[in-house]
Structures are given as C-alpha cells and as structure tokens.
C-alpha cells in the first residue's frame, strides 16, 4: 500500500515496461525449445535457444494522473494494444511493472470478456461481475445498460448472432455503467455508427468530468486532439514522445508520412526534440489569452498593432486587422520533402497587406511559394486551418483528385493563393501548407508544413454567433402579445 496521499498518487504508473515474445522459424522449433532446458541439464551445458526475440514493448515508463485523458498514437504494430492489455492485467509483462490505482474498465479486442454462446443479457451479468459489480448492483443498473446499448430484442439472443457494432454497443454500455476510476478504450468505437459514436464520446466526456482517468487509442488524430490532455507516441515498442497533444500529433504525422528510407532519421529527430509537457505555458496559449481578454483591451491592442504596422496611414487607427510582431510564427514541423519546398507562408488582405491579426467577416488570402527541385507530375496544393489543440476546422485543395498540374519542371516556382472569408470565433489558429504529386503508383506528399503559421482572430463586440465557426445564422425572435 502506498503511503502517498490519494491526490498525489497517479492513476497509472508504468516503470521500465517491456513485453517480449518468442518467434519460431518453424513449428518444430517450438517443440525443440520445450525440451531444450531438460536436455541442457542432462548434458550439463547451457541450453540452446530455438527462437528469436520480438520486443512488442521495450523500456516504457510514464505516469498518468488521476482525471487525465491521454491519447495513445502510433503506426500499426507500435505496441499500443500490448500496452493497454498489460495495464488492464490481461497480459503479463516480461520486464518492468505497472501500478494501477482504482477500478478499471476496458474496451479492448471486440468481444473480450463475452461468451458467444450466452445471450446479451447473460453476458451483461458475466462481464459486469468480472468488472467488480455485485449481483445487486448489476440488477439495479441492468435497465440503464440495456437502454444505452439499444439493441432491442437481440438482448435475448446468443451473442454469436451479433454484428460487430452490436458487440461494441453492449460492451461499451457495460463498461461505462460500472462507474470506473480508469476507462481504457482501444479503437473499439470505430466499429459503431456515427450516432452511437457521438453518444459514446459524450458519455466519455461525462465520465472524465466525474474524475475518471481515460486511456484512449485511436488512429484519428482529430479525435485525440479534441479529447485528450496529453498524448504519447509509440513506435517499434518504444515510447518516442509524451506531452502536449498537438506537439505529439505533429510528430506522429511526420513519422506516419515519412518515406521508408528516412524513418530512422525521423525517429531520431523526434527523440531529440521532445514535446512540451501539457502543463507548460505555450506561446499559442498566451496568444489565445491575449485574444480573449476584455473588449476594451482588445480594441486598444488592435489599434496599437495598426499604428505600429503603418504609422503613415491616416486611417490606421480605424483598421481592425493588422500585423502583430509579437505573435509567434508557429512551432511547425517540416515533413521530409520529395523534390519541392514550401516557403514564405503568410496571410494577406486583398490589397496585399501582410497580417496575422484578422477581423471576423473579412476577406483574406493565405499565400505560400513552392520551389521545385525536380520535375513533378500531378501537383495539387492544399491548406488547412486548425485550432490550438489540433482540431482540423477546414481547408481546401487547389484541384480535385486526378486534375492537378500535369507537369512542373525542376527549377520552377509556384505562387499558391487560397482566398477565404474569416468566419472563425475569436482566438488563435494554425495553418498548414501541403503539396501532393504523383509518385510511384499514386499520390504522395512531396512537401508538407504543419502549423507553419499562427494567426489570431480579434473579438467582435457585435458577434452573435457561438462556437468556433460563424455559419451566418440569422436569428429571429417574435413575441406574440
């Protein structure tokens, strides 16, 4: 029993964790390995090993605080599911240890913890009992579990007749109704329909608000960015990065899209450039705070920016967009390039002024240049606007799939421009720039810059829209006498 105060004790502590599997080249080697130690004792010599070691996890250490939601990302085979299974106790580690404080509920492999010959209702009793509920508690919560799962009369049918979506519905309904201290979700929600996924994420948010810890594996960077406090990046069984969600996701995407021959170099770069911890104040967070202070200070600040930008212009004080030299350009990640380089990213007004403080409702142009170092075909350019947490709000491509520029010669320079209307809520945003071309048998990024530019949208005292995007809703209220 730990002597630490409950508030100071992490929900999950992972120390030098490793998981090794024996890999046999031939089925007969498995039999040879079974007898090898016995033969070695008879012959009084060191036993011969008839397998090679495969480390699914190697020397992973981290702590996850109570009430924290942590996303786990990585390529296929990175060790994500292995890590979660060890945390949940369904796998034993080869090295290291895991300490878990609190009741844990998990959605791992589809159907884990269920008997396909039992009915849905019988499996609810079985699974809830495994997760620690008493018979009285199960009976009291049965109606709520079945209502959330919403599988109708199938609850009386054997689960071997269920679809994958029905399996997931019942499993998730049981997991959330045991009131876990720790909820572990391993990509299970990907098999559900969109309406049910939305209901699940809403319930996960409620569980988190109630103080539970959540470990969440997903291949969707947007989902992790929107819902997680921190993220960890696994690759080849190693923990490459742990920290600020957006920083980890940019490193994950850089690794995901790296050509095979540059993978080792990208991994080395990620290790050498650790992400910020989630608790550290970030430059963009400071900018967000500056953008969401009182209206009076924002108006004064905007006027000051305009004066500093163009003192000679008589109407500078009346302008409500401009360039703030104190606003960072972004903490971007440059992807390996394949014959093209992106430069000079900026936002301009229609008359050509460079700005990074935007006024809601006005027209702007996102611009960047592309220098071609070799001849490329099928070129399409793109852009994306994201929130501070990395949620992709929207973007555009310069041409539909298959209709890009047929051929661009080496040495050429392209000027790329995306005109847009600023319909964003006040706050700080990041812009991406990318270029795809025909490489080999299909399209591939030939240049990509993530979070290459930071912009701030100033408040509008007359704004009626709510949320991140202004959909130009026209409200009307009529009171009948």
The model's pLDDT over 122-161, given as tens digits with 9 standing for 90+, comes to 999 998 888 888 999 999 999 999 998 888 889 999 999 9
Count the helix, strand and coil residues of the chain and give each as a percent rounded to the nearest 5: 30, 30, 35
Of residues 387, 396, 468, 383, the one with CA closest to residue 430: 387
Does 119 or 297 have the greater pLDDT score? 119
What was the pLDDT predicted at 282?
Answer: 41
Give strand pairing partners of 119: 158
Cα dihedral 290, 293, 297, 298 sign: positive
Rounded percentage of the chain residues whose pLDDT exceeds 90: 44
Tokens of residue 78, six digits: 């990175």
Q: Which residue has the tokens 């900026």?
A: 346
Alpha helices in 278-363 (DSSP H): 283-291, 295-309
Conformation bin of residue 123: beta by default, left when phi > 0, alpha when psi is -120 to 50: alpha
| Predicted local distance difference test score (pLDDT) of residue 51 | 78
CA distance 103 to 137: 15
Q: What's the whole-number average pLDDT of the chain?
A: 83
192 conformational bin, left if phi > 0, alpha if psi -120 to 50, beta if neither? beta
Q: Is the pLDDT of residue 279 over 80?
A: no
Give me Rg for the CA atoms of the chain: 27
Which pLDDT score is estimated for 191?
Answer: 62
User: Does the pLDDT value for residue 304 go beyond 50?
Assistant: no
Mean pLDDT confidence for 78-83: 92
What tokens were used for 143? Answer: 């109606």
User: Hey, what's the torsion of the CAs at 239, 244, 245, 246, to 10 degrees?
Assistant: -110
Percent above pLDDT 70 for the chain = 85
Q: What pLDDT, on a 0 to 100 scale, did the predictor assign at position 213?
A: 94
d(CA 184, CA 172): 11
Q: Is the pLDDT of residue 273 over 50?
A: yes
| 244: nearest Cα among 236, 252, 255 | 252
Are 127 and 113 in contact by the 8 Å Cβ rule? The answer is yes
Q: Read out DSSP for 115-183?
A: -TTSBHHHHHHHHHHHTT--HHHHHHHHHHHHHHH--GGGGGSBGGG--HHHHHHHHHHHHHHT--SEE
Highest mean pLDDT among 40-44, 314-318, 418-422, 457-461 belongs to 418-422
Of 191, 172, 42, whose CA–CA distance to 112 is shortest?
172
The CATH superfamily assigned to 12-102+181-272 is P-loop containing nucleotide triphosphate hydrolases (3.40.50.300)
C-alpha span between 267 and 250 (Å, rounded): 13
For residue 447, give every residue at least 6 positions away whose Cβ sits within 8 Å of its Cβ, in sequence order, or none: 335, 337, 338, 340, 341, 342, 370, 434, 435
Tell me the mean pLDDT in the region 278-300: 39
The three-point CA angle 282-253-470 to 5° equals 60
Q: What's the first-to-final CA gap in the chain, in angstroms? A: 69
* 354-355 β-sheet, strand order: 354-355, 340-348, 363-372, 413-421
- pLDDT, one tens digit per residue, over 152-205 is 889 999 999 998 888 888 988 998 888 889 999 887 666 666 677 777 877 888
pLDDT at residue 321, rounded to an integer: 87
How would residue 397 be classed by pLDDT, with cut points 50, 70 and 90?
A: very high
Which pair of tokens denotes residue 185? 């979700």
Q: Residue 189 has what pLDDT?
A: 66
Token pair 């008493």 is found at 134
Residue 88 pLDDT exceeds 80: yes
Three-state secondary structure along 45-70? CCCCCCCEEEEEEEEEEEEECCCCEE
- Strand 442-457, strand 333-334: pairing: antiparallel
Q: How far apart are CA 373 and CA 376, in angstroms?
A: 9
* Domain extent listing, the chain: 12-102+181-272, 287-457
Whether the Cβ atoms of residue 70 and residue 230 lie closer than 8 Å to each other: yes
Question: In sequence order, what are the residues at sequence separation of 6 or more whose Cβ sits closer than 8 angstroms to the Cβ of residue 428?
Answer: 284, 285, 287, 288, 291, 388, 454, 455, 456, 457
State both tokens at 103. 């009741």
Model confidence at 413, pLDDT cuts 50, 70, 90, reads: very high
Q: Above 70 in pLDDT, residue 453?
A: yes
Closest CA to 430 of 298, 332, 363: 332
**Whole-number pLDDT of residue 283:** 41
| Phi, then psi, of 15 in degrees rounded to 5 | -130, 115
Highest mean pLDDT among 204-213, 273-282, 375-384, 438-447: 375-384
Which pLDDT score, from 0 to 100, does residue 7 have? 56
How much is the average pLDDT of 319-337?
77
Q: Which of 109-123, 197-211, 372-386 has the highest mean pLDDT?
A: 372-386
Domain 287-457 has CATH 1.10.3080.10: no
CA–CA distances in Å: residue 316 to residues 294, 309, 357: 21, 8, 14
């Amino acid at each position: 029993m730990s002597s630490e105060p409950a508030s100071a004790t992490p929900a999950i502590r992972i120390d030098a964790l490793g998981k090794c599997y024996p890999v046999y080249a031939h089925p007969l080697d498995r039999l040879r390995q079974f007898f090898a130690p016995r033969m070695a004792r008879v012959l009084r010599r060191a036993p011969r090993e008839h397998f090679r070691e495969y480390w699914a996890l190697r020397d992973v250490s981290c702590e996850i605080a109570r009430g924290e939601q942590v996303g786990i990302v990585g390529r296929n085979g990175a060790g994500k599911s292995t890590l979660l299974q060890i945390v949940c106790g369904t796998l034993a580690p080869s090295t290291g240890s895991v300490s878990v404080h609190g009741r844990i509920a998990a959605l791992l492999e589809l159907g884990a913890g269920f008997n396909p010959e039992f009915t849905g209702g019988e499996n609810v009793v079985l699974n809830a009992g495994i997760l620690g509920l008493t018979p009285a508690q199960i009976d009291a919560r049965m109606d709520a579990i079945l209502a959330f799962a919403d599988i109708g009369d199938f609850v009386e049918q054997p689960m071997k007749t269920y679809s994958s979506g029905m399996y997931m519905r019942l499993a998730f309904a049981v997991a959330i109704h045991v009131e876990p201290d720790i909820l572990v979700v391993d990509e299970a929600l990907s098999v559900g329909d969109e309406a049910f996924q939305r209901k699940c994420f809403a319930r996960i948010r409620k569980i988190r608000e109630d103080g539970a810890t959540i470990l969440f594996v997903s291949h969707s960077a947007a989902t992790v960015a929107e819902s997680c406090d921190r993220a960890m990046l696994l690759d080849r069984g190693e923990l490459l990065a742990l920290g600020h969600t957006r920083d980890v996701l940019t490193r994950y995407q850089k690794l995901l899209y790296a050509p095979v021959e540059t993978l080792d170099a990208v991994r080395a770069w990620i290790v050498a450039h650790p992400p910020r911890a989630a608790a550290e104040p970030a430059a963009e967070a400071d900018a967000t705070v500056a953008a969401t202070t009182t209206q009076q200070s924002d108006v004064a600040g905007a006027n000051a920016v305009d004066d500093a930008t163009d003192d000679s212009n008589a109407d500078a004080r009346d302008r409500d967009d401009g360039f703030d030299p104190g606003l960072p350009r972004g903490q971007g990640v440059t992807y390996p390039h394949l014959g093209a380089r992106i430069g000079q990213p900026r936002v301009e007004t229609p008359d050509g002024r460079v700005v990074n403080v935007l006024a809601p409702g006005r027209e702007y142009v996102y611009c960047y240049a592309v220098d071609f170092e070799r001849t490329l075909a099928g070129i399409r350019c793109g852009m994306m606007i994201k929130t501070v947490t990395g949620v992709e709000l929207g973007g555009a491509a310069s041409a539909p799939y298959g209709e890009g520029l047929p051929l661009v010669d080496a040495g050429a320079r392209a000027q790329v421009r995306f005109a847009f209307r600023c319909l964003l809520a006040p706050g700080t945003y990041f812009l991406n720039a990318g270029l795809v071309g025909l490489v080999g048998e299909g399209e591939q990024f030939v240049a990509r810059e993530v979070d290459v530019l930071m912009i701030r949208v100033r408040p509008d005292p007359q704004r009626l829209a709510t949320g991140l995007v202004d959909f130009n809703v026209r409200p009307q209220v009529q009171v009948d006498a």
